[in-house]
Structure 1
């Protein structure tokens, strides 16, 4: 993701809507959903595994969210856009 898009509120609102629609969609495989949910939850619960990382929990979650949505957009291109 380019820096301009990374700082765009419009882009993040799009990502949040798309991520939610992928997570609640019955057409997306559970394994694909867990690719986002498990790492995000583990980082929130066990943040001291990487104590010298200068990125907080929300930053890591947002980066995972961006990766998750871009991956799901490629894999499930036929799904309709979020609600």
Structure 2
């Protein structure tokens, strides 16, 4: 839990996600599995402000899940 609170962890996570999104090995469908929910969630709170989770918190939760899942699926580290 403590490592989730460090800037170094998030820097590495987002750098890894960038690597995954730019990789030709990762299917477009899998890239969209990350991009579409994040983009939609960044737009929806402006239209529907009753959702109780912050935009950046949602993005960080999805980022952590996406990085772990795609790293295992495509054996990229």
Q: Which TM class, normalised by the smaller chain length? A: 0.7 to 0.9
Detail structure 1 runs of 4+ shifted over 3 Å in the superposition.
none
TM-score, normalised by the number of residues in structure 1: 0.82
Partner of 2:50: 51
The residue number in structure 2 matching 1:23 is: 21
Give the RMSD, CA atoms, in angstroms. Answer: 1.5
Which residue does 2:6 correspond to in 1?
Answer: 8
CA distance in 1, matches of 2:48, 2:68: 27
TM-score (norm 2): 0.88
1:65 equivalent to 2:63? Answer yes
Match of 1:33 in 2: 31
Instruction: Return the structure number with greater relative CO, CA threshold 8 A, min gap 6.
Output: 1
Q: Which runs of 5+ in 1 are unaligned?
A: none
